[in-house]
């Protein structure tokens, strides 16, 4: 956004380190932006001392405003640029407001770019996890077949399959985030969902933690994304465990 300004703009922090600059400033010093960002203002002036001579002079303008004359002289040529910088409060306020708006837009653009990068990374990771879950699910199904009438083994395999299915639902949410798509809610039996989530989390919480539930009877189905609600309940359970 700073590049939209015709004026050369350089932003330094309290320590004098250059945080941002626009194309006009780079052109003024005949330097690349990467060379200027992170440099100290004093070292920068020393670095280009052989090329540019900076002269400052305070004076009072005809309207009574205090002004600073900044004169940049190319040592190898005639006067390159001469500009009077106004220091009146009103002009400073307008410039600061404009600069703040530009910086705010620039931060918004950078944030959007970071989100896009995160979305692309998330999509790749989600696909890899999807492949792993497919292998796990297939092995569990084969284990159930070979277990025969061994009920304890079948029950353990069913629990593992339920966990794998929830993992697959989580992967779908990650893929939806990477594609910036909204998930479709569906009528959900909240009582059954809560019971399943808590049953799944009992072993991971530990034997020293007891879970009590008070479910409402004759509860109507709720239009909600089941996987998101499961994740919210699981987060509440984990946070409660960590707080104990």
pLDDT in tens, 214-238: 888 888 999 988 877 887 887 788 7
Residue 1 DSSP SS3: coil
Confidence of residue 57 (pLDDT cuts 50, 70, 90): low
Confidence of residue 187 (pLDDT cuts 50, 70, 90): very high
| H-helix segments, the chain | 23-29, 33-36, 41-47, 89-147, 151-178, 190-205, 226-243
What residues contact residue 85 under an 8 Å CB cut-off, 6+ apart?
67, 68, 69, 70
Phi, psi of 135 (to 5 degrees): -65, -45
Q: Structural domain boundaries of the chain?
A: 2-109, 185-244
In angstroms, the CA 69 to CA 225 distance is 64
Q: Against a cut of 0.75, is the pTM above it?
A: no
Out of 41-55, 121-135, 188-202, 223-237, pick the least confident. Answer: 41-55
pLDDT higher than 70, residue 86: no
The residue that leads in pLDDT, 56 or 178, is 178
pLDDT higher than 60, residue 52: no
Residue 194 DSSP SS3: helix
pLDDT higher than 80, residue 121: no
């Amino acid at each position: 956004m700073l590049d939209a300004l015709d004026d050369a703009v350089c932003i330094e922090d309290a320590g004098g380190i250059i945080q941002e600059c626009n194309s006009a400033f780079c052109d003024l010093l005949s330097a690349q932006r990467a060379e200027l960002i992170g440099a100290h203002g004093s070292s920068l002036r020393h670095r280009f001392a052989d090329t540019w001579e900076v002269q400052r002079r305070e004076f009072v303008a005809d309207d009574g405003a205090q002004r600073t004359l900044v004169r940049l002289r190319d040592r190898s040529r005639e006067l390159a640029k001469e500009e009077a910088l106004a220091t009146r409060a009103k002009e400073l306020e307008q410039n600061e407001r404009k600069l703040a708006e530009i910086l705010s837009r620039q931060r918004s653009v950078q944030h959007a770019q970071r989100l896009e990068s995160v979305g692309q990374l998330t999509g790749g990771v989600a696909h890899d996890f999807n492949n792993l879950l497919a292998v796990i699910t297939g092995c569990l199904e084969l284990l159930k077949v070979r277990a025969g009438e061994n009920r304890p083994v079948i029950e353990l395999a069913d629990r593992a399959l339920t966990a794998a299915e929830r993992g697959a639902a989580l992967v779908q949410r990650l893929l939806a985030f990477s594609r910036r798509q909204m998930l479709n809610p569906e009528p959900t039996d909240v009582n059954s969902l809560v019971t399943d989530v808590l049953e799944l989390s009992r072993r991971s919480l530990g034997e020293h933690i007891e879970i009590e539930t008070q479910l409402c009877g004759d509860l109507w189905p709720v239009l909600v994304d089941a996987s998101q609600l499961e994740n919210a309940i699981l987060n509440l359970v984990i946070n409660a465990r960590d707080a104990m």
